Structure formats: structure tokens, C-alpha cells
Structure 1
Amino acid sequence: MVSCNKMPPNFVIILTDDLDWTLGGANASTLSRTRKYIAEEGKTFTKWFVQTPVCCPSRAEWLTGKLYHNLRYKEDIHPSCMHVNVTDHPEHPFYSRDYFAPYFSRNKTLKYKIGVFGKHLNSRNPSSFMLPGVDEMLINDGGTYLNPTFTYGNGTDESIQKIHFNKCENYTGIPCYSTSIIGNVSLGWIKRQVKEQPRLRPFIALISVKAPHIQDGDGYPMSIPAPWYTNTIVEESIAPRTPNYNYSGFPDHHWLVRSQGPLTKEEGEKIDELYVSRLKTLISVDDLVEELVLKLDTWGVLNNTYVIFTSDNGYRLGQFGMSIDKMHPYENDIRVPMMIRGPGIAKNSTTSLVSTHVNVMPTLMGLATKRYYSQDIVPPTMDGTNLAAKILDHDVDEQDESISTFELSSVLVEYTTLGDVVRFNHLVDTFNHSFLALRIVDADPAHYPFHNMKYVEFRDTRVDWNMTEAPLERELYDLDRDPFEMHNLVTQVSPLFVNALSQKIQKMIQCQGASCRQEHSSGLDGYWSTQMATIPTSQVVVRETMDDSTVPLVANGGPAEAAGEN
């Protein structure tokens, strides 16, 4: 039997759906055990981003290590999964070329066993074939919380079958619950991998729950907690009233923001109701995480297992007057929780290392091969960066030319509209809302006007699908001074600086593979430094009008009261 210290590490990933970071979702009272067993025993990332803030593209980026522009259809004429180029066919490149699993399970030295459980993509999931490189799967498009249906397979295409979990009431008197099913099946699979003798192969388990996503429907759809937690009282009762809560109607933001009417009292109350229902669904996730970690410990494999907890995108609860959902370039949409514990991870540590979901699979490859510094081990189809050395806090010998580690400073965010989307009576997406955003973090203030910034370009992809024409609108934020993105500074900086930001974005949306790693690890050098060489940094900002006392925290004549704030 191979001893644990010689076997590559195991990986267990818990992926939630729509769990926010900036609004405190990851710090909810109902995730206390998750923080105890993962964050306190590992590392929390405060600057972890998604690069497309909506379910299917974000999950596709995670599963392939590819950026959205390399996954999206090149023209808007095909049925798709939120514009991702994928079909329900084993020979489609998404599955036959780009999918992560074969790079781990069919690797000559790694030979991972892989299980995939829960929500996979929103559509175009396999219905008659196994996910490539995967040993067992129980997947769906998110489905329903109660009595859900999944596609199951255990290693051969002949084993594929639909399973409708609707018999629980016959035995327990209550419906089957999605998170519990996913948890039980995934834990059962992990147990079989651990108990198999002789155990020669490490494992990867991707466990993707529906919580705390709403159960889609008309009117005021809510999240649905497990029946046994429906009446549980949680500590929180009112959604966070951030300064940009119900903020709308100002002329310097995108049309979708400035055209919002105030949230009504009923809408505000329903947002609070949804907030509480979301937190209640997380109790079952907390159950799953606790049981998972305790079982891994009992089975003797916890010390050689990385346990990862995160979300596919952030969320909104009334910010900018747009009721609920994600799909926007703002921090509550794109920053997500990320916690990791495992061998070499410092306990109870926090890092401001910048990263995104596109880097997960390249980094797991670095951890699996113990080639923590190398980008050479990143599969050629992937655009992400191996950040294993940074996550493990390994010192880098800058004199060693064999080391090709990167640290990210720029993040490209891409989104193509889903058309007119209405939530809680408010339009939250529409056709002129496709955008490209550039998030630059920890810039050198000696060379940049802002240390921590975001630049956004909005377009209408009905007429500019590839987003190469002049943008319809632009936004620019200094996030150190304006963390809630209430002051658009795009007209208050030098046009040369805006042009440099735009050039950087256009370069990034053309990148593939190694060029993406290079673009994400660099700022605007080469785009504006030569142009600005003769202009003092103090003149980059043309004028300053960021006196918070002159900008109301809510718009339209006091909608916070109208929305039911106490």
C-alpha cells in the first residue's frame, strides 16, 4: 500500500451557488462550522474574484480553466448555456478537449479517481454519456430543492440513468432535500475511495450544492431550506443596508442603475425575507461541511486532503436599487468567499492574494504534482495560472530561472447580457448591459492615480457581439476611497489614462493560454507609461469631487424608508 506521504494530495471542493462575500454571506451565523473546520484550520482569501458573474459561464471557467472569451460562441446564433459554447455531446470540445478531469485522472503519474456531484452547468449537461475522466457523477442543472432529479453514472456510458428522488416521504414523512442527497452520495463515494484496498489512487470530489440560490419562479421567489430547518430562528433578520442599498437615479452610473425606481416597502421586506431564507439553506451546507471534515479525519485522510469552500458568483440584495441577483460588475457580484485548508496551508490565516476561479484547476495541478512554482505543468488548453507557491506562502528565489511563478494584479471580468431579466419587479439585466471590466489591485501609487481600481465598459452585444467598438458608457472607481462604487470618476481623470485602460482590456480579451497569465500578472505598463512619462501623476486626476457628505446614501427622495428599513 502506498503511504500517504508519497501519495498526491486529495481535493474536496464545496461549491455553493450565489453566496456573496461583500454582504457577509460567508460570515453568516449559519456557516459557523464551515469557518471553524475550514477557515480556522486554513486560509481565507479576501480578494478572490469570479471573471463572469453568472452561473453557467463561471462554472464553465472553473471546470476548464479557460476564460469566458475562449468559451463563448464567436457569434450569437447558437443555442448555448448562457452563451457558453457547449452541447450535450461527448465529442464537443468542451468535454473532449477542455474538461478538467482527464488532466488529473489520465495523467501518467497522478491517476486521480474523480467524483462530480450536484449542480454542474445550467444546461447542456451530459444526458447519455459520462463526464470524461470521471468515475462517478450525480449531476443536474441546479434543479429543485425538494424531490430533485439528477443524472447518475458510475464509470460507463451504459450506466447513465435519470434518478428522481421522491420517495423520502414514504419513509420519513418529509420530502427529499437536494443538499442532503448531494452530501450523502458524495460522502458515500469518498468513503469507497478511502476504504478500497490496496488504496493506490488519490481522489478529487467536486460537491456543488444549489444553496443559497433562489428556487426560480414568478413573483418573489425564495430559497428553500430543508424542511427540518424551515422554522429555525437565525440571528440575522434584515439584509445588509450598505451605503449603495437602494441607491439609484444618479446620472454617472450605467443606464440600468440610473433608471431604477426606488424599492417599495413590500420589495424591501421581500428582500429581507429572501435574505433569511438564503441563510437557512446554508445550515444544511454547514451540516455537510462538518460531516465531511469529521469523516475525512476518521478515515485517516484529512491531513493529506485539501478542502476548498467557495461560490460560483456573488450576489445582490437591493444594492443600486436592483433588488436581487448578480450579473453586474460591482464588488458584491464578483467577489466571492474562498477558504482552503490542507497540507502546507497556514492555519487561521488570511491573505490578500488576488486570484480567480480560472486559476483553480492550474493551481490544483501544481499542488498535485508538487511543482508549486511552475507554469509548465498547466495544461495547454487552460488560461489560468498555477498559484500553488503563493497559496503555500513559499518564498521564491528570484535568481532561479526555472521558476516561472506569477502574482496577479489585473483581473478581467466579462459578461454578455441574458436579455431582459426582471427580479422583484425590477429590471436587473437588459441588452445594453454587456460589459468588460478591468479590476486592478494593489497598483503602485507612484505610477497610477489609484491604488485599487475598477474600470468598466458597457456595450450592446446585439450590434457589437465581440465588444470591439467604442463603448456606450464607462465607469471608473477608486475602491480604496469608494468601496461601494457610488462615485464614477471616468470624467475626472486624464483621457490618456482611460485610453490605456481600454487598450489593456482589448488586449486581455484576445489572450489565450500563456498570454493570459502574462496579462493578468501585469498592469498598464506598456499601455500608458510611455504616454504619461511627461505628465505628473498628480495631473492624471483632472479634478476631485469625492466629498461623501454631498452624495446621499439613498436616492429618489428617501427610498430606504420606502423599502422598509427600520
Structure 2
Amino acid sequence: MLAPGARPLRVLALALAALLTCGARRVRGGGASNILLIVTDDQDQILGGMTAMKKTKSLIGDAGVTFVNSFTVTPLCCPSRCSILTGRYPHNHLVSNNSLAGNCSSAAWQSRGESDAFPVFLSKGGYQTFFAGKYLNQYGKKEAGGGGHVPPGWDQWHALVGNSRYYNYTLSRNGVEEKHGDNYADDYLTDVIAERCLRFLDNRSPQRPFFLMLAPPAPHWPWTAAPQYRRRFAEVKAPRDGSFDEAGKDKHWLLRQAANPMTNSSLAFLDDAYRRRWQTLLSVDDLVEALVRKLDELKELNNTYVFFTSDNGYHTGQFSLPIGKRQLYEFDIRTPLLVRGPGVKANITIKAPVLNIDLAPTFLDIAGINESYANVDGQSFLPLMAPSLRNGSARPFFLVEHTGEGLPGGDPACPAIGPGLSQCFPDCVCEDSFNNTYACVRTLDGRHDMQYCEFADSESFVEVYDLSSDPHQLQNIVKKVDPAVLQTMNQRLIKLQSCQGAGCRDFAT
């Protein structure tokens, strides 16, 4: 017999389970916050990548927090986006580059990575979920299951088949392939993404929180601006300061292939690319404005966290490299990150380093969902930007890793000049070169600002930079630094390269 007033054990268990998962399952009266994530493609932070986006800086950055030390853990689209989705370093989600052989949208990723991605947990927690734009570079390809594949966790799915384009593309609309042409009013992808998101907001259930992820193509090649913006920034040129057109002295073999000084044709190409990248971003700026206005109109703005970031940085002439990413240097690994939302004070700058693997645990933290936290390598930065909610601490060092996808004997995208080398200059766009594979430990703890990198190449090359005195990474000081410092950095790198979950957040070493 149960004592008077006692409840059956099954009822108690159900009540306890409800309490443990109530963060997002509660109806809106319970206060679950909405989340909007905007991820651009190849937008740098330190070469003026945000300069053109005045509305975004005003509506998100000035209304919230700007992270000035935001990094990707790998400077390449597909593995970086997989790190955003899973909260894991590439050595744990096992997507190494943009190819199917590198697990970009492969069957292995679909069976392993997608089931552990944060949208699955948000959906289980009661969130309405919406995706539009570029997902992964190989998504929708026949070998990757075609456009009929919709990853778990998404209620509405409008994903680009393949890599970034602005016109003449195919979308997977909830698993049905939809062809688009080259009519601006109907097909310009950035505007299509905005329009479909606005429609979703109008038709959503007001009783449940929502998560929106928008991934416009800008400012990725082919840099096709909307008609009204094609004449903008006519006098703008790629910045000539820092490491621009500097020789890759004492740097790894790939940088030593660059022709220096750059030719006039390369410089003209760079300036044109730089302007066109800014032009494409103006439509993203309009997208941000339209969504913030809609959230305000729906009286949801004050209950919505709005995140703006990019998958990786970019270079335009640094160390005489014409255009691209994939390098260990600050211009390729730093990304913009602006956030506004409940508990976030206006016009705040945060210097603590945050990573793209921190986005997933931050979303789960906002939603009050902890069931997958043990499976992520990142950590929530909600306490950093909303300290009134909970105290938090910043990491003193972290890992950056990249695996080259080029082929032995040269990259087929560029003329080969020797085993494993590709000649990419002056004007061709080189996707990658064989064994451009490295791992770095980046230290940024308030006292030290350093980077230590090891290459998996025939030279076993090492690069070390003290960014406090050399912010443009011009001088490789590996032969000058204290051997004890090198040993400490090497041990940290070894630990991080094999870390998993909580071990990636243990900074005792």
C-alpha cells in the first residue's frame, strides 16, 4: 500500500523526466528562447569582410556583442560546417575536406554525424526547425543520396545541391528537387533564402520556440551580386597592408611556390574579386535587416538570440596567395561573430576566444538541453555574453587542423610543377595541393598570443609565431623561441589532436 499522498513510482519517474527536458519543451509561457543563426560562406574578419555590412553591425553587433577573437577550427567550408553542426573538431566528426572521399556529405557522415548534430536535439526538445541555403559542398550529389536526403532534425528544409551559387542551381525543398534559373526576382539565392524564412515565421506555431539556420552563398565565388549592387565600391581595392604581397619566407612549402612580387594581372584580379565579394554581401545585409524587422513585427525580437558568423576566413593576396582559404594564418582562421539576444547587453566587445565548435553547445545551453553535451568538444559561450545568467570561463588555447584534399602529382584544378605541387599563379583558382595538412595549437590567454603548427609533409615543417609582436605572422620564430616553450606547445598539440568531448575542454596542461 502507498502511504497517503504518495505517488506511484512510474508517475514520479515521468515527472522527473519532464523536469530534466523541460528547457525547450515548455510552451512559450515557460520562456524558451528562439535562435536564429546566419552563416555566410568565406567571409573574413580581419581584411574588411564586415565593412560593407553596416545594417548587420548596427542591428546585431551594436545591439549585442561582438567577439573579436572568433575562430574556425578548420579553414575550409565542409569540415567547418560539420564542426558547427556537431560541436566537434574534425578529427572527431571525421569530415576532413570538401570531397566525398573526405566524408563531405558522405554516407558515413549521414549515418554518424547527422544523427549527432544539434538540430536533432533541438527538434526533440520541442523546437520548430528551419534550414535554407548551402549545407555541405557535396550535398545532393547522386553519390551522396541525391536531393531526396533530408538530414534528421529539420522540419523545413531548403538546401542547395552542391557548392555556392547565386543563379542556376537546384534546391532540395523538403526532399524534392527544385530547379532555379537566372531571373533575379525569382531565383537570386540570397533573396530566396530570406523570402522562405519570412514565410516560415509567418506560418510557425506561436506556442513553440524556433531555430532558424540560414546559409547564403555570399561572399563565395562566383561573386554574383544582385543587379542593384553591381556598381558599388568601384574605387575599393584589396588592402595592401600586413602580409599583402609578402614573400613566404621561412614558411611551409606551399607558400614558397607563390610568385613574388605579384604581377599586375594578379593585382587587378584581386581588386575585382575583393569588390565583388563586398557587393554580394549587401544582399546578406538586406536579409539581416528583413529578418530583424520581421522578428520585431512578430514581437519575438526580444526573445530571440541572433547569431551572425562565417564558416571560415579568406585571403586576397596575403603572402602573394591570390585568393582562397585553407591556410593556418589569421586571415583564414578568424571569422566574424556577432550576437544579440536575451541577457546580452548592447554594444559589448568580448576578447575571450570562441570557436565554431562552441556554437552547438551554446544553442543547447540556450534551449536548456544537456543530453548531448558530453558528445561535443566545444563549450557554451552563453555565460560570456550573458554573464547575468551564469559565470563562465574562457579557454586559454585550442586546436586548428586541416587535411589537404589534393592528389599526388598535382591538383587537377591547376597545372602541376612537380610531385605534390601545383602552380596556382598568377590568376587561376587553386582548390588545394597535395599534403597541405597541418595541426596548430593557438594560445590566446591574456598573457600569451602565440601559434605553433606542425605539418604532415616530407619536411615535417614547423611554424611558430608570436602575434603580440608580429600580428601579421611575418616571422617564423621556431629557431629563436625557448625550447621549453616549444615543448609545452608540442605537448598541448599532441593532447588536442586526440582529444574527445570533455578532454578537449581540459586546459590543465
* TM-score normalised per structure 1: 0.77
Please say which of residues 415-424 and 432-441 is displaced more in the overlay: 415-424
Contact 1:114 1:204 in 2 (8 A): yes
- Aligned twin of 2:230: 230
- Aligned twin of 2:419: none
**C-alpha spacing 1:260/1:296, structure 2 compared with 1 (3 Å):** same
The one-letter amino acid paired with 2:279 is: K
Distance 2:104 2:301 in 1: 37
What is the CA-CA distance between 1:300 and the residue it aligns to? 0.8
Matched, 1:439 2:449: no
Please say which of residues 178-187 and 86-95 is displaced more in the overlay: 86-95
The one-letter amino acid paired with 1:330 is: Y
Consecutive unaligned residues in structure 2, runs of 5 or more: 1-25, 414-423
The one-letter amino acid paired with 1:207 is: L
Distance 1:249 1:426 in 2: 19
- Aligned twin of 2:8: none
Distance 2:109 2:401 in 1: 27
Distance 2:491 2:348 in 1: 37
- Aligned twin of 1:510: 498
- Aligned twin of 2:433: 430
**C-alpha spacing 1:308/1:112, structure 2 compared with 1 (3 Å):** same
What is the CA-CA distance between 1:209 and the residue it aligns to? 0.5
What is the CA-CA distance between 1:201 and the residue it aligns to? 0.9
- Aligned twin of 2:39: 15
Deviations along 1:210-229, whole A, 9 cap, x unmatched? 000012xxxxxxx1101232
Deviations along 1:340-375, whole A, 9 cap, x unmatched? 001111101111021101010101111221x8xxxx
- Aligned twin of 1:132: 152
Contact 1:381 1:513 in 2 (8 A): yes
The one-letter amino acid paired with 1:441 is: L
Matched, 1:410 2:397: yes
Matched, 1:151 2:175: no
Contact 1:105 1:114 in 2 (8 A): yes
Counterpart pick for 2:76 among 54, 67, 75 = 54
Contact 1:56 1:84 in 2 (8 A): no
- Aligned twin of 1:357: 356
Contact 2:398 2:496 in 1 (8 A): no
Distance 1:437 1:261 in 2: 26
Matched, 1:212 2:211: no
Contact 1:378 1:386 in 2 (8 A): no
Deviations along 1:443-495, whole A, 9 cap, x unmatched? 54xxxxxx2101111113xx8xxxxxxx7111111101100000111100122
Contact 2:36 2:212 in 1 (8 A): yes
What is the CA-CA distance between 1:129 and the residue it aligns to? 3.1
The one-letter amino acid paired with 1:142 is: N
The one-letter amino acid paired with 2:132 is: F
SS at match of 1:360: helix
SS at match of 1:255: coil
Distance 1:178 1:200 in 2: 30
Q: Which structure 1 residue ranges, 4+ long, deviate > 3 Å from structure 2?
A: 2-5, 79-82, 88-91, 394-397, 420-423, 425-429
What is the CA-CA distance between 1:243 and the residue it aligns to? 2.5
- Aligned twin of 2:124: 106
Deviations along 1:488-521, whole A, 9 cap, x unmatched? 1110012232122112111111111111111xxx
SS at match of 1:439: strand
Contact 1:366 1:377 in 2 (8 A): no
Deviations along 1:109-130, whole A, 9 cap, x unmatched? xx00100110001114562232
SS at match of 1:92: helix
SS at match of 2:400: strand
Deviations along 1:397-417, whole A, 9 cap, x unmatched? 7xxxxxxx4421112000001
- Aligned twin of 1:555: none
State the percentage of identical aligned residues: 33
- Aligned twin of 2:450: 453
RMSD over aligned CA atoms reads: 2.4
What is the CA-CA distance between 1:395 and the residue it aligns to? 8.0
Distance 1:493 1:143 in 2: 42
Distance 1:509 1:391 in 2: 28
Contact 1:190 1:205 in 2 (8 A): no
**C-alpha spacing 1:511/1:133, structure 2 compared with 1 (3 Å):** same
What is the CA-CA distance between 1:167 and the residue it aligns to? 7.5
Distance 1:58 1:495 in 2: 32
Distance 1:149 1:86 in 2: 16
Consecutive unaligned residues in structure 1, runs of 5 or more: 154-159, 216-222, 398-404, 445-450, 464-470, 527-566
The one-letter amino acid paired with 2:383 is: A
SS at match of 1:336: coil
